[in-house]
Amino acid sequence: MKKLVVIAHPHMDESNVHRAWKEELLKLNAQDITVHDIYEAYPDGKIDVASEQRLVEAHDCIIFQFPVYWYSSPALLKQWEDDVLAQGWAYPGKYALEGKSITCAVSAAGSAEDYSKHGKAGHTIEEVLLPYRLTASFIHANYLPSFAWYNAEGISPEHLKASLPAYISFIKKLV
Ligand SMILES: Cc1cc2nc3c(=O)[nH]c(=O)nc-3n(C[C@H](O)[C@H](O)[C@H](O)COP(=O)(O)O)c2cc1C
């Protein structure tokens, strides 16, 4: 199972969570995990669609790793979806991601309680991530349960440290 982690964080130099998650993934130096930071790859925002499509084709599972921004993703990930999941490649007819898996690994300022039916957000993180599930379904991919780390803004060193084995275990268990 080859896994492609597509990381989207517009200010990686100011990040606590995603910088640490990225470094932890790179430290694994795993043959079956490709770490792909799209803001680093495309500082001008111009995505090389053919190159991204080749990357996706070479993997079985795509993990979108990002901080929740306005109950969605940072902008370049949306651009990535709009550009890379092109008609004629991702759908219809060809369905390049058919049988592949898709999931998300996100961090959020809100607490787990906030992201519940009766919490401040009034919706779970899986509900917030519904566009990814629906997109996966549309392009005939399988959507797997996501990974979420809450209370991630101004995160304490202890809480950040605890996120690392939890995140790596999530990535390793994806099948
Ligand atoms: C523009 C922006 C929008 C944000 N929107 C949300 C949001 O809708 N829900 C939420 O829980 N956190 C939100 N946050 C908080 C980020 O998710 C949080 O700071 C991030 O997950 C921490 O990860 P990092 O240390 O890698 O930056 C937002 C932060 C920014 C900068």
Query: How far is ligand 1, taken at its centre, from the CA of residue 41, in Å?
Result: 22
Query: Is the CB of residue 16 below 6 angstroms from any atom belonging to ligand 1?
Result: yes
Q: Is the distance from the beta carbon of residue 123 to the nearest atom of ligand 1 less than 6 Å?
A: no
State which H helix or E strand residue 96 sits in.
Answer: none
Instruction: Please work out whether the CB of residue 17 comes within 6 Å of at least one atom of ligand 1.
Output: yes
| Domain definitions of the chain by residue range | 3-173
CB 80, CB 118: distance < 8 Å: no
CATH for the 3-173 domain, from 3.30.470.20, 3.60.15.10, 3.40.50.360, 3.40.30.10: 3.40.50.360
Q: What are phi and psi of 80, to 5 degrees?
A: -55, -50
The one-digit pLDDT tens for each residue of the chain (175 residues) are 999 999 999 999 999 999 999 999 999 999 999 999 999 999 999 999 999 999 999 999 999 999 999 999 999 999 999 999 999 999 998 999 999 999 999 999 999 999 999 999 999 999 999 999 999 999 999 999 999 999 999 999 999 999 999 999 999 999 8
Alpha carbons within 13 A on the beta-carbon side of 62:
29
